A = this chain, B = another copy of it.
Amino acid sequence: METNEIQKKIQELQSLAEKSNVNIDSDIKRLSEKLGEGARMTPADLWKKIQLARHSDRPTTLEIIATITESFMELHGDRYYGDDAAMVGGVGLLEGRPVTFIGHQKGRNMKENIRRNYGWAHPEGYRKALRLAKQAEKFGRPVVTFIDTAGAYPGIASEERGISEAIARNLKEFAMLRTPVLCFIIGEGGSGGAIGIAVGNEVFMLENSFYTVISPEGCASILLRDPSKAPEAASQLKLLPSDLLAFGIVDGIIREPDGGAHIDHVVTAANIKAQILDSLKRLETKTGEQLARERMAKFMSMGRFVEEGGPKSNFFQRLFSITRKS
């Protein structure tokens, strides 16, 4: 975890600077930008990583769950309309501890992919995810999500049944959950379809995964006016784990076996499990209210802009004095 170590160094630096009241923001920014491995790669090399993230033999959500839990039971249905096979979830025992798992599910072959719609979920998938997350909250279980989707499905039925509403509601409700929420981008982290189950206290990316506001192909079509320029767009979008770690958007990178996660599912799953256990040790000491407040604060502080007449932290300090009252 080379980049992880660099990130740790940066964090140490930052806390040191805060203590000594020295402003090193601009230095950190420069450092972070250099850190982004995408910047050091040719678009062709970067594209190989994108292909790894989409590799058909990559471990899927259900495989990872099966590998890391002692036992797991899949729970189905959104209680409104259907059961979406592109989004799975259930309850498992992880080192004796009950955990709710939720994730996008791609197929291993053509037939399964058709059934699972290639991991593109419909509204009922997001609603099932929310139902299971609230069930976890009710019974005091942490939530672990696995993100692996090109996006929410762009089809007629998906719009008719309110894919926007389903994702939006999840963003709000996941923010408020009074239980630990951990998110792992295990392959493709495609836009709204990804973030719809990725509002967590800690968010991690597998080494060969990506997380982006728009697919490289979509970005190439729209901004470069040529879908074949996807590798170039991917390079511009800064969507690799190292980029997002440097940006402070994700909290860590999970190492994959040499050659990629598909080479050794067991090792990949073990690395994920180690991170879950490590994070839970930390998060389970907190109250539900604390977890929800920290999660909301984390996402409410995201974004980069310049502000005249004072640092933005003032605004958020003011906010937290409000929320503490209520």
- Which residues in A have some Cβ–Cβ distance to B below 8 Å? 79-81, 123, 127, 161-162, 165, 169
Contact = CB atoms under 8 A, between A and B. Distances in A.
Does more than half of chain A's interface fall in helix, strand or loop, or is it mixed? loop
13 contacts: A79-B162, A79-B165, A79-B169, A80-B80, A80-B81, A80-B123, A80-B127, A80-B161, A80-B162, A80-B165, A81-B81, A81-B161, A81-B162
4 nearest A-B residue pairs (beta carbon): A80-B80, A79-B165, A81-B161, A81-B81
A266 to B, nearest CB: 40
A79 B169 CA distance: 10
A161 to B, nearest CB: 6
Contacts of A79: 162, 165, 169
Given A80-B123, A80-B127, 11 more contacts: A79-B162, A79-B165, A79-B169, A80-B80, A80-B81, A80-B161, A80-B162, A80-B165, A81-B81, A81-B161, A81-B162
Contacts of A165: 79-80
Interface centre among A80, A123, A165, A169 (most CB of B within 10 A): A80
A123 B81 CA distance: 10
Nearest to A80: B80
A68 B259 CA distance: 73
Contacts of A162: 79-81
Nearest to A160: B81
Contacts of A127: 80
Contacts of A123: 80
Contacts of A81: 80-81, 161-162
A232 to B, nearest CB: 40
A317 B169 CA distance: 40
A162 to B, nearest CB: 7
Nearest to A123: B80
Contacts of A80: 80-81, 123, 127, 161-162, 165
A123 B82 CA distance: 14
A268 B326 CA distance: 44
A80 B123 CA distance: 9
Interface centre among A81, A127, A165, A169 (most CB of B within 10 A): A81
A138 to B, nearest CB: 14
A127 B123 CA distance: 16
A81 B161 CA distance: 5
A73 B180 CA distance: 41
A161 B81 CA distance: 5
A165 B123 CA distance: 18
Nearest to A78: B80
A76 to B, nearest CB: 13
Nearest to A169: B79
A140 to B, nearest CB: 16
A161 B123 CA distance: 14
A283 to B, nearest CB: 26
A312 to B, nearest CB: 30
A156 to B, nearest CB: 14
A208 to B, nearest CB: 37
